[in-house]
Amino acid sequence: MQVLKSLDELRAWRSLLEGSVALVPTMGNLHEGHLKLVDMAQQQADHVVVSIFVNPMQFGKNEDLDAYPRTFDADCAALIERGTAAVFAPTVADVYPRGLAEQTSIEVPGISDILCGASRPGHFRGVATIVAKLFNMVQPDVAIFGEKDFQQLQVIRLMTADLSMSVTVLGMPTERADDGLALSSRNGYLSESERAQAPIIYQTLQQSAAVIQQGMVIETAEQQAREILSQQGLRIDYVEVRRRSDLQSPQPEDRELVMLVAAFLGKTRLIDNLAFDR
Ligand code: PAF
């Protein structure tokens, strides 16, 4: 596996490459969820590039940028086992040579300001900008993202379409622990007792989807879910049912829905979602 630690190294390697390329953008601390994206990428293209870059532009001032787990050697070992062609791990100076304050950025309006975007102002500007930069740097044919970050995936899909980018964006179902908890690098922040509580999020999503499918009014199901999660000790950021395409409130005729949750267990903010039809 090629370990490319600068844009120059990436460009030199990429210019000699023949065949198609699939990119899996990550912030490292890879778990089985990421590795499943790599497996899917292998089926989509001749070469798989995994980027590892903890993107400062998508973290708010009081968020966990400094604490974000960095496990580069273990990540590389796992990627070698999965047959990755190259890992691209640029420095912050390489990605943002003029600093962040005056960096040109990409804003996907509307969808970036709701749900996680309302709680984390500027987050999706940071995500859209780094993903666009990675697409320009790596020049992939296909890029793979996890559906756990459902809003992120929709933001990236809209950005790619709006800017006529020739990258095919694919989403991959959320990888879960045996008890249903969505795999996430942030699960590592949970204490033992918080980890034991965390599966209630997915259980609540499943119950809520089932009662909506049985005819319960969406607002009632959302409220019930909020009560269950609060009773279990979670501090709710949002619990919302939205239509899948643009994450706006569903109209009576909308059939393709997704329920999204963001909630704190202690200091850890967890997100999850469940897509369902009614
Ligand atoms: O999902 C992530 O890990 C990040 O948001 C991404 C897409 C790699 C951009 O930094």
Taking the domains of the chain in order of start, what are their residue ranges? Answer: 2-172, 185-273
Ligand 1 mean position, distance from CA 273 (Å): 17
Tens of pLDDT, residues 185-232: 999 999 999 999 999 999 999 999 999 999 999 999 999 999 999 999
Pocket-forming residues, ligand 1, beta carbon under 6 Å: 25-27, 55, 58, 127, 130-131, 149, 152
Percent of the chain with pLDDT over 70: 100
Ligand 1 mean position, distance from CA 234 (Å): 25
The number of the ligand 1 atom at minimal distance from the alpha carbon of 53 is 10
The closest alpha carbon to 190, from 125, 263, 122, belongs to 263
Structurally, at CATH architecture level, domain 2-172 sits in: 3-Layer(aba) Sandwich (3.40)
Strands annotated E in 149-234: 168-172
Q: What is the pLDDT of residue 111?
A: 97
Contacts of 165 (CB under 8 A, 6+ apart): 132, 135, 159
Q: Please tell me the CATH code under which domain 185-273 is placed.
A: 3.30.1300.10
Binding residues for ATP: 27-34, 146-149, 183-186
Q: Is 227 helix (H, G, I), strand (E, B) or coil?
A: helix
Helix (H) or strand (E) holding 190: none
Mean pLDDT computed over 260-278: 97
Q: For residue 121, what are its two tokens?
A: 């102002």
Residue 108 burial by CB count (10 A; 0-12/13-18/19+): exposed, middle or buried? buried
Q: Which of 34, 82, 125, 133 is catalytic?
A: 34
Q: For residue 204, what are its two tokens?
A: 């609540």
Residues in the chain: 278
Strands annotated E in 65-136: 86-88
Q: What is the pTM of this model?
A: 0.97
Tens of pLDDT, residues 44-100: 999 999 999 999 999 999 999 999 999 999 999 999 999 999 999 999 999 999 999
Q: Is 257 helix (H, G, I), strand (E, B) or coil?
A: strand
